[in-house]
Amino acid sequence: MQRARYLTELENCQLCEWHCGVNRLVGEVGMCQLGLPQVASRALHPAPPSSYTLFMAGCNFKCLHCQNWDIAHWPHSDAVIDGRVDPADLARESITALNSLQASLIRADRLFFSGGCPTCSLPYIEEVVARARALQPGTLVNFDTNGFMTPDSLARVLEFADSITYDIRAVSDDVHRALTGAPAAPMLRNAEVLAAHREKLWEFRVLIVPRINEGELEAICRFLAGLDAALPVCFLAFRPNFVLENHPGASLDLMRQALAIARDCGLTNADWAGRPGLPGRAGSSSHDGLLGCGVAVAQWYARRAGCQTIPRDCGTCPQTNDCPVKQYQPLRRT
Ligand code: SF4
Ligand code: SF4
């Protein structure tokens, strides 16, 4: 049987900045541990931009704070996912969903590819989008990303996406690595490219994790204001999840403080969202002595989850293919 064209480049996967070069078609896995693209779930979703959201399984990051850890770390999690879906079927179904009464009630106007990390499924997504637009020309598409894609992958996303939601967790490399396991530079480079295509940017999203990246806020705001002071920026309140399941959520004060910092840095289009004030739980206080050093606090949690590589650097870590963080099973979800 002839192989679908969109699978071909998975023979030597170079989709993201890890450049694993593995053949995902024969069971080799890279940093994302993903073989063939898999749909984790899909549903109409009212969060802006309201959409038919398609969550793709797998992720190339190992974020301690991950909210979607079960699908991001599939197949190491016990998440029940939708699995492989033929792109033509998914396109048909997506168009039907977007044209439904329920979609009009929540004003869903686009497909929204999220994850996990949709970059790991980029060729598949391109195929779904092409087929959806063949059925309904002009179908809008959002791409949700951690920014860790190659310049070529970003160019491809800019080609088909109408809007992009883009996460920035830190600008300092050590804080970024401590939180995500990945270097900051590719994400910063791509943020600059995206800022130059502002018409494609829905917003930069900055998750605020108290004690860990709150010290980064001013640097993040200065970086973004330096690109364009009018860029849309949304601060998201951290909620206790995954390896940080016992860590306290971002307070309302902290979110307001973020807005004040953004203003002081000259950003004119910043807002915040999420549910602030969720408490931490017993077991998270032993890092109190590390207060003031976000990297050390993150490292403390990573170590408790089994990561012995200090500083955390998934790209050179010998445990990459048997990563305890990827296999971490939290007891709490908020
Ligand atoms: S981590 Fe990136 S380069 Fe490596 S296999 Fe996954 S998508 Fe490909
Ligand atoms: S154990 Fe290695 S691969 Fe896993 S999070 Fe730590 S540094 Fe990254």
Does the C-beta of 309 come closer than 6 Å to ligand 1? no
Mean pLDDT on 214-231: 97
307 alpha carbon to ligand 2 midpoint, in Å? 5
Could you read off the pLDDT of 43-74 as tens digits, one per residue? 999 999 999 999 999 999 999 999 999 999 99
Ligand 2 atom nearest the C-alpha of 323 is 4
pLDDT recorded at residue 292: 59
- Concatenate the DSSP letters of all residues of 52-96 into one string: EEEEES--S---TT-SSHHHHTTTSS-----B---HHHHHHHHHH
Query: Is any ligand 1 atom within 6 A of the Cβ of residue 30?
Result: yes
- Sign of the C-alpha dihedral, residues 132, 138, 144, 149? positive
Contact of 238 with 208, CB cutoff 8 Å? yes
The whole-model pTM stands at: 0.96
pLDDT in the model for residue 310:
86
Give the Å distance between the CA of 179 and the centre of ligand 2: 11
- The Cα-based distances of 65 to 230, 272, 279 in angstroms read 28, 18, 15
Q: Is the CB of 120 under 6 A from ligand 1?
A: yes
> For the residues 120-149, what does the mean pLDDT come to?
98
Ligand 2 within 6 A of CB of 320: yes
What is the pLDDT, as a whole number, of residue 4?
A: 84
Q: What does the pLDDT read at residue 3? A: 73
Domains and CATH numbers, the chain: 5-316 (3.20.20.70)
- Count other Cβ atoms within 10 Å, centred on residue 330: 17
pLDDT of residue 26: 96
Tokens of 240: 């206790």
20 lines ligand 1 (CB under 6 A): yes
What percentage of residues in the chain have a pLDDT greater than 70?
A: 96
Average pLDDT over residues 135-150: 98
Return the pLDDT at 286: 59
Number of H helices, E strands in the chain: 10, 8
The residue behind tokens 């593995």 is: 22
pLDDT tens track for 107-124: 999 999 999 999 999 999
DSSP state, residue 3: P
Distance 317 CA to ligand 2 centre (A): 6
Task: Tell me which residue has its CA closest to atom 7 in ligand 1.
Answer: 120
Q: What is the pLDDT of residue 297?
A: 93
Which amino acid is residue 252, in one-letter code? Answer: L
Residue 293's pLDDT is 86
Band the pLDDT of 288: cuts 50, 70, 90: low
Determine the average pLDDT of the residues in 84-100: 98
pLDDT of residue 87: 97
Q: For a pocket test of ligand 1, which of 7, 8, 18 has the largest count of ligand atoms closer than 8 A to its C-beta? A: 18
pLDDT band for position 155 (50/70/90)? very high
By alpha-carbon position, which residue is closest to atom 4 of ligand 2?
Answer: 323
Q: Are the C-beta atoms of 57 and 71 separated by less than 8 Å? A: yes
Amino acid 284: pLDDT: 59
Predicted local confidence at residue 30, as pLDDT = 95
Which atom from ligand 1 is nearest to the alpha carbon of 60?
1
Q: Which atom of ligand 2 is nearest to the CA of 317?
A: 2
Mutate to test the pocket of ligand 1, among 120, 152, 190 (most ligand atoms within 8 A of CB): 120
Q: Ligand 1 pocket, 31 CB below 6 A?
A: yes
pLDDT, tens digit (0-9, with 9 covering 90-100), for 304-321: 999 989 889 999 999 988
More confident residue, 219 or 290: 219
| % pLDDT > 90, the chain | 90
Mean pLDDT of the chain: 95
pLDDT higher than threshold 80 for residue 285? no
| Arithmetic mean of pLDDT, 15-26 | 97
Query: Does residue 319 have its Cβ closer than 6 Å to ligand 2?
Result: yes
Euclidean distance between CA atoms 51 and 163, whole angstroms: 12
Cα of 79 vs centre of ligand 2, distance in Å, is 21
Q: Are 113 and 56 in contact (CB under 8 A)?
A: yes
Six token digits for residue 167: 């996460």
Residue ID of nearest Cα to ligand 1 atom 8: 13
Report the SS3 class of residue 152: helix
Q: What is the 3-state secondary structure (H, E, C) of 163-174?
A: EEEEECCCCCHH
